Amino acid sequence: MDVLSDVVASMRTGRASSARIEWRAPWGQRFPGRAGAAGFQVVLRGSCKLFPPQGDPITLNVGDVAFFPHGDSYGLADELTTPLAEPRCDPVEDTDLFVSDFVGRDGQATVTLCGGYELDPERVHPLLRDLPEVIHLPAELGRHPELRSAIELLGAEVANPRLGADIIVRALLDMLLLYLLRAWFEDRPAGAEVTGWAAALNDPDISAALRAIHRAPGEPWTVQTLADEAGLSRAAFARRFQSLVGQPPLTYLTWWRLATAGRLLHGSDAPLHEIARRVGYTSEFAFAAAFKREYGIAPGRYRRTPPVARTNPPIPG
């Protein structure tokens, strides 16, 4: 697995939802924030004003995408002066896979495609910490063609569901999330500073080491063997990894191993000794001790405890 796919797979839970909304002026809606969620808005026709969590309003035109990776609140309206009403359509709260709706009166029409993703707070990866509250991807000719194709296909399926739409929409929503993140990490807006995980994923040496960790977390990695994967000296690798990722290589390795273990405990019936082996621990005792240090709870009890009652593992860095 590449790192981005692995991270998204580890965080996703439940199923995504989407809606195609035709707004008729005057209209305005507030979208409340929600922890452990992410949402997006795409303008299919017309234009509107986006009121982000902080900062000045943003004009969204046809083809523009706004992505909210942290589940922050925001508003949409036809004009800057239109009041924001309480939610009628919330892509995060609504559980239907896809819906179509009409909101507003009889003025000029704006059509948006919105969607929401459930993210497990226990599996939040530190790369999300580097993402801004709002990712705005303006529609520009020739940029992000895969993203544009996914939007077009998703919009058509939601507007006119046909045979097989359930599976198609689920697949397109997953594709769209990855295309959104890829677009940000590979092609940030002009003038944006390239730091943190955005820089790490675009650094061929450090990304090689990250791929090795994610591909085989149970391997007996050392700083030297990871440096060999990166093609750097041990000292140079350690410095660059710390600078870009935000913590030493073995700190991240341990965190990812235990995050992977948590996922296996929650999503499989594998015995503890097998999970310990798969994430790089030579004994069940050593694994249990490390897991409890990280999560504050023994792995067996973690497996039996409902997710809402669990203590979230600390995010490294």
pLDDT tens for each residue of 140-182: 877 889 999 999 999 888 888 888 888 898 889 889 999 998 8
The answer to whether residues 132 and 255 belong to one domain is: no
pLDDT of residue 199: 84
Q: What is the pLDDT of residues 272-310, one digit of tens each?
A: 999 999 999 999 999 999 999 988 899 999 988 765 444
Tell me, yes or no, whether 34 and 140 share the same domain: yes
pLDDT of residue 7: 83
Residue 192 resides in a domain: no
Picking from 239, 55, 242, 215, the residue whose alpha carbon sits closest to that of residue 133 is 55
For residues 64 and 211, membership in a common domain is answered with no
* Beta strand pairing call for 135-137 and 17-24: unpaired
| pLDDT at res. 100 | 66
- High-pLDDT (> 70) share of the chain, %: 88
Q: Which two tokens stand for residue 196?
A: 């943190």
Residue type, 317: G
Higher pLDDT, 226 or 86: 226
Domain that holds residue 179: 3-186
CATH number at residue 213: 1.10.10.60
For the chain, how many structural domains are there in total? Answer: 2
Q: Pull the structure tokens for residue 166.
A: 């359930």
Q: Are residues 293 and 215 in the same domain?
A: yes
Q: Does pTM surpass 0.75?
A: yes
Give the pLDDT confidence score for residue 311 in this predicted structure: 46
pLDDT at residue 235 tops 90: yes
Write out pLDDT tens, residues 45-80: 999 999 998 999 999 999 999 999 988 999 999 999
Q: Is the pLDDT higher at 249 or at 191?
A: 249
Counts for the chain of helices (H) and strands (E), in that order:
11, 10
Q: In what order do the strands lie in the sheet with 74-77?
A: 28-31, 74-77, 48-51, 58-60
